[in-house]
Amino acid sequence: MTMNIPEDLRYSADHEWAKLSGNCIRIGITDYAQDALGDVVFVQIPTVGAVVALGQSFSEVESTKSVSDIYAPLSGKVSQVNEALAQNPELLNSDPYGDGWICEIELSDPAQFEQLLTSSAYQNLIGG
């Protein structure tokens, strides 16, 4: 199975994606992560205003297989959350890079974005 790894995004080694927009990033989990999780049944949505640190767990995703932490790919403050996931957690499976986004973070250190993996580096990480 070929994994969808959009070239306009950056990736963490923990399988989150990040899309930069000004001083904010929109984040979610990768196609690889949702595939490994199986059917997602619950998403713990972070709180708007919460301060997150690079590498810190700030959310949880529960699937029929397991519960997994979601780690902040960058440091900053949660500025927006995807409320739709509360009612439709399966959006993480059906549209991980679109309607399945988890939250937006206002960056405290925009330079961190450059340290995330490119799509080709992420492809190499997952053995593609």
Q: What is the pLDDT of residues 78-109, one digit of tens each?
A: 999 999 999 999 999 999 999 999 999 999 99
Residues whose CB falls within 8 Å of the CB of residue 33, separated by 6 or more in sequence, listed in order = 15, 16, 68, 96
Domains (range + CATH), the chain = 10-110 (2.40.50.100)
Residue 2, pLDDT score: 78
Where in the chain does DSSP place strands (E)? 10-11, 16-21, 24-29, 40-44, 51-52, 57-63, 67-71, 76-81, 103-107
Per-residue pLDDT of the chain (128 residues; tens, 9 = 90+): 578 999 999 999 999 999 999 999 999 999 999 999 999 999 999 999 999 999 999 999 999 999 999 999 999 999 999 999 999 999 999 999 999 999 999 999 999 999 999 999 999 999 97
